[in-house]
A = this chain, B = another copy of it.
Amino acid sequence: MERVGFIGLGIMGKPMARNLLKAGFPLTVFNRSRAAMDELARDGAIAADSPMQVAQQSDVVITCVSDSPDVEAVVLGENGILAGGRTGMLYIDNSTIAPATSRKIYKALKAQGMDALDAPVSGGDIGAQQGTLSIMVGGDEAAFQRSLPILQAMGKNIVHVGAAGAGQVTKACNQIVVAMTVQAVAEALTLAKKSGVDPAKVRSALLGGFAQSRVLDVHGQRMIDGTFEPGFKLNLHRKDMNIVLQTGKELNLPLLGTAQVTELMNSLLAQGKGELDNSALITLYEFLAGL
């Protein structure tokens, strides 16, 4: 069984690492703050002093951190994964970052005889805990095959989409669709409310037809209840949207709807609502509608 290293024990990373332990993988962990490492150590993991040390003690190293600069620092920085790795090591990044950064890291590791996969996840903390994450993977086919027993311990719907960066592109597409569908549902339910029609009945009627979506189902209910516990936090979704828009700029691709919904997210963050679920977008529409 491969020795696995896991870096980044946050709201997603900690339960993912725990699922690797449950599946029997020998596990070395690193996290900037100590508490989460101690918790995993009590479950049988070895705590390391740096990403470099994790790499030295592992065949496969996984990261799950916040953004592109974090991944670059952990992989390419001082005491990083690249410094501790050797030929044959496989690096898997479960973070959501810029496709361009994933491609850069892939090349840096390949040049040292190591493999790399970008493998962002979707499904939230519940999916992480239950091991039911969707995982979108970019990279070489052999590396993907090698990663499968590990990814299957953390997720269910695991798709090899294409070459390095393709996993991040797919995640970007996912975030576009979710954000714009949330906006669609927010506009529709605000129109219903402002018209004096029960939004709950509208949601039910629409779920039976062509407007059906998981967002209408789950977020629509949250909007009707006015309960915005995350879920997926607005400040994280906004971070992902910035990646999408930056990627769009590099491609000279005008993402009109994506840009608009990101501007609305900016307003929600300005109002101090970044810790709320992204369905809280409806509160902005209700304000705009004088409700």
Residues of A within 8 A of B (CB): 99, 122-123, 134, 136, 138, 157, 159, 161-163, 165-166, 169-170, 172-174, 176-181, 183-185, 187-192, 194-198, 201-202, 204-206, 208-216, 218, 244, 247-248, 251-258, 260-261, 264, 288-290
Contacts and interface: CB of A to CB of B under 8 A. Distances in A.
Given A134-B205, A187-B258, 18 more contacts: A161-B198, A162-B196, A162-B198, A166-B195, A170-B197, A170-B205, A173-B189, A174-B188, A174-B210, A177-B216, A180-B181, A181-B184, A181-B211, A183-B257, A210-B215, A213-B216, A252-B290, A257-B260
Contacts of A179: 184
Contacts of A181: 177, 180-181, 184, 211, 213
Contact of A209 (B99, B122, B165): B122
B157 A173 contact: no
State the main secondary structure of chain A at its contact with B. Answer: helix
Q: Which of A122, A254, A257 has the most CB of B within 10 A?
A: A257
Contact of A195 (B99, B185, B258): B99
Nearest to A176: B188
A189 B176 CA distance: 10
Contacts of A165: 195, 197
21 contacts: A159-B205, A159-B208, A161-B197, A169-B202, A170-B205, A174-B205, A174-B206, A176-B188, A177-B185, A177-B213, A179-B184, A180-B257, A183-B256, A184-B257, A209-B214, A210-B214, A212-B213, A254-B288, A254-B289, A257-B257, A257-B261
Contacts of A244: 191
Nearest to A203: B173
A181 B213 CA distance: 9
A99 B202 CA distance: 14
A176 B191 contact: yes
A208 B173 contact: no
Nearest to A213: B213
A77 B218 CA distance: 45
